[in-house]
Structure 1
């Protein structure tokens, strides 16, 4: 990955290079997540954060199991008891 030098401006603002900005599909005003990991600042989109969370949850769920189907079944059972 190519590195780009940038400056920190007043208020701790860092300009994201246009190439990176465009590659991430960002637009002015979009929300992003900023995380400090092992002394590095990482910036990623909300969509990327959701994908990471989904992958993490999947790592605990057997492939032959559908959490959505289980939730629907539980809700139906609860509504029958009301």
Structure 2
């Protein structure tokens, strides 16, 4: 794991170093999702957040039903409407 020290600035702002933004493909103005888990802060792009939720939901099955797959199908149906 790569750790980079950053400081909490005025108004709770955290600056993500340019090399990290470039490596992640994020730009100024992009929306990030903040997630708290086990006392940790996790920042993700929207795409990463969706993938994270899908991975978490894939752990939940009821019999042969995979809830993450059902949710994806439901969302696709809503998008097509």
Which 4+ runs in 1 deviate beyond 6 A? Answer: none
Unmatched segments (≥5 aa) in structure 1: 73-82
Larger Rg computed on CA atoms: 1
Q: How do residues 66-81 of structure 1 correspond to structure 2 at under 5 angstroms?
A: 67=70, 68=73
Give me the TM-score of the superposition, normalised by structure 2. 0.64
Residue deviations 1:21-40 (CA, integer Å, cap 9, x gap) = 11211011111110111121
Count of paired positions: 68
Unmatched segments (≥5 aa) in structure 2: none
3-state SS, counterpart of residue 22 of structure 2: helix
Residue deviations 1:15-74 (CA, integer Å, cap 9, x gap) = 1122221121101111111011112111001001111233344443859xx754xx97xx
> What CA RMSD, in Å, does the superposition of the two structures yield over aligned residues?
2.6
Q: How do residues 21-40 of structure 1 correspond to structure 2 at under 5 angstroms?
A: 21-40=21-40
3-state SS, counterpart of residue 47 of structure 2: helix
Distance 2:2 2:42 in 1: 15
Give me the TM-score of the superposition, normalised by structure 1. 0.64
